[in-house]
Amino acid sequence: MSQLVPPHGGKGLVIRLLEGAEREAELKKAASLKKVEITAQEKGDAIMIGIGGFSPLEGFMTKADWKSVCENFTLADGTFWPVPVMLSCSKEDAAEIKAGQEVTLERNGEIYATMQVTDIFELTEDEKKWESEMVYKGAGEDSQGDFMKIALEDHPGVQMVMARKEFCLAGPIKVLSEGDYPTNPKYMGTYLRPAETRKIFDERGWKNVAALQLRNPMHRSHEHLCKIAIDVCDGVIIHSLIGNLKPGDIPAEVRLKCIDTLVKGYFVEEKVVQGGYPLDMRYAGPREALLHATFRQNYGVNKMIIGRDHAGVGDFYTLFEAQEIFDRIPYSTPEEKQKVGGKALLCEPLKIDWTFYCFKCDGMASMRTCPHTKEDRVILSGTKLRKALSEGAEVPDHFGREEVLTILRAYYEGLTEKVEIKMQKAASGADMK
């Protein structure tokens, strides 16, 4: 019997992906239904709903769910959920759809799902601004003053919210495609469904499993975080985002090659699982850290590694805001969790301080363990690494393993167009004492 943490929501893995004859029949029906074009983010969300990664969600959210998630961190029924999962459509499409009707969700000509529409509602510009402030606004410098003005220029998550079409559709979906994630060689076989990771963990006899969230190439700090987790847990899943990123981020196939090289050279491989999941980044900082923990619970993970500026962008969030939020969410105490059962988030944060290489310590260290000054330290961050490589600058000693840097240098040398990388304080080490 599995010793893993149960899926979120108390209903087991809620899987909406159809296969075999059932899928073929639904695809045939889908061809005759009203078509709704979805965004890249909505495609990733649909796939996660399909494979059980977003359990207990069966589809896209109603307005009541949207409002409750923004205000209370819960669905309308009280189940913990930190970030809205919405499906937008144009005013023209909304006028042609009635509640109870089935529609087909497609992107670039490929059918991804059918939806039983239960609710059609408008989200005004003011309501989208309200969502942006509730979900994406943090305590960092960029969130002070005129937040929306700054966010519309510099926050990709807020830009995605404001770019949504005028209306939203809610209702359960039947998922008919996982895109090319299961078959594309560039993902190196790392795309795994929650049922698959749970099977792997069970076969290895793991009970306590940690997850490292990755959207940047693995540097020495990531390696250190993983090894701390392995010391206190049965094993770790290095779980890479393989959906869309913002311009200037490094594509999945390059990041996965770096991870594979690092794991084979510097880890006990039996203690590590490499995985990929199909979402786009929202860059929601603390709220996204909660989302990462929520869906990792569905993958069988009970400890989410949360370090410095998790899922942040610019200077919208303070250094450890993504750790602190776990202490403020609904059902955060053992007593509350016991009372509400599966409605609570059971995946807990593994909070780790700012880590770096210290020349005087002669090794990896953290603010808790190193007594020296920032002049003795190599400040490690994915943004700082990307900026150095994109500008052809020298990468400081001990920043990353040479085998990994060789892969990254080759990638940057092959680029014909380069995106300017904005350096935030958290990445530069300006806030380090």
Lowest mean per-residue pLDDT among 6-10, 337-341, 379-383: 379-383
107 part of a folded domain: yes
pLDDT of residue 225: 93
Confidence band, pLDDT 50/70/90 cuts, at residue 135: very high
Res 237 pLDDT > 80: yes
Percent of the chain with pLDDT over 90: 82
Name the domain boundary from 140, 175, 210: 175
Q: Could you tell me if 284 and 388 lie in one domain?
A: yes
The boundaries of the domain holding residue 99 are 20-123+164-175
Residue 20 has pLDDT above 80, yes or no: yes
* Per-residue model confidence (pLDDT) at position 217: 80
Which residues, at least 6 apart from 70, have a Cβ–Cβ distance to it below 8 Å?
A: 84, 130, 131, 134, 135
Query: 422 falls in which pLDDT band (50, 70, 90)?
Result: low
Per DSSP, what are the bridge partners of residue 107?
Answer: 110
pLDDT at position 250 is: 83
In a domain, 283, yes or no: yes
- Which amino acid is present at 381? S
Asked if residue 129 belongs to a domain, the reply is: no
* Domain match, 255 and 115 both: no
pLDDT of residue 125 exceeding 90, the answer is yes
Instruction: Return the residue matching tokens 């943004």.
Output: 383
What value does the mean pLDDT take over residues 87-103?
A: 97
Decide if pLDDT at 432 tops 80. no
Mean pLDDT of 294-317: 95
Q: Which amino acid is at 365?
A: A
How many other CB atoms are found less than 10 A from the CB of residue 313?
Answer: 27
Residue where a domain stops, chosen among 131, 149, 175 = 175
Q: What is the pLDDT of residue 215?
A: 84
Answer yes or no: do 171 and 228 share one domain: no
Tell me how far apart the alpha carbons of residues 231 and 267 are, in angstroms, rounded to a whole number: 12
Residues 319 and 290 in one domain: yes
Beta bridge partners of 400: none
Question: Could you tell me if residue 378 is inside a domain?
Answer: yes
Q: Specify the range with the lowest mean pLDDT, choosing from 226-235, 311-320, 393-402, 415-424.
A: 415-424
Amino acid at 285: G
For residue 351, what are the contacts with CB-CB under 8 A and spacing of at least 6? 306, 320, 323, 326
In a domain, 194, yes or no: yes
- 255 and 363 in a single domain? The answer is yes
The rounded mean pLDDT for the chain is: 93
Res. 419: pLDDT tops 70 = no
Question: 276 with 404, same domain?
Answer: yes
Same domain, 215 and 171: no
Q: Which of 90-99, 176-185, 389-398 has the lowest mean pLDDT?
A: 389-398
Which residues make Cβ contacts (< 8 Å) with residue 405, sequence separation at least 6?
Answer: 395, 399
Examine the pLDDT at 420 and tell me if it is beyond 70. Answer: no
**DSSP-derived secondary structure letter, 80:** B
Residue 136 in any domain: the answer is: no
Q: Mean of the pLDDT values across residues 379-400?
A: 80
CATH number at residue 61: 3.10.400.10
**Contacts (Cβ under 8 Å, ≥6 apart) of 15:** 50, 51, 52, 55, 195
Alpha carbon 101 to its chain centroid, in Å, reads: 31
The answer on pLDDT for 380 being more than 90 is: no
Residue 181 inside a domain? The answer is: no
Domains in the chain, number: 2
What stretches of 278-347 adopt beta strand conformation (E)? 303-306
Tokens of 307: 């370090």
Which range among 248-252, 256-260, 397-401 shows the weakest confidence by mean pLDDT? 248-252
Task: Cite the active site residues.
Answer: 215-216
Enter the tokens of residue 143. 């969130």
Query: In terms of domains, do 279 and 340 share one?
Result: yes
Q: Are residues 87 and 43 in the same domain?
A: yes
- The answer to whether residue 324 scores a pLDDT higher than 80 is yes
Domain boundary among 112, 140, 175: 175
pLDDT at 337: 95
Q: In this structure, are 104 and 201 located in the same domain?
A: no
DSSP string, 365-385: EETTT--S-GGGEEE--HHHH
CB 304 within 8 A of CB 210: yes
Any idea which residue has 């009372």 for tokens?
Answer: 339
- Residue 413 domain flag: yes
* Residues 238, 380 within the same domain: yes
- pLDDT, residue 245, reads 76
CATH number for the domain harbouring residue 231: 3.40.50.620
* 143-190 confidence digits (pLDDT tens): 999 999 999 999 999 999 999 999 999 999 999 999 999 999 988 889
Same structural domain, 38 and 78 = yes
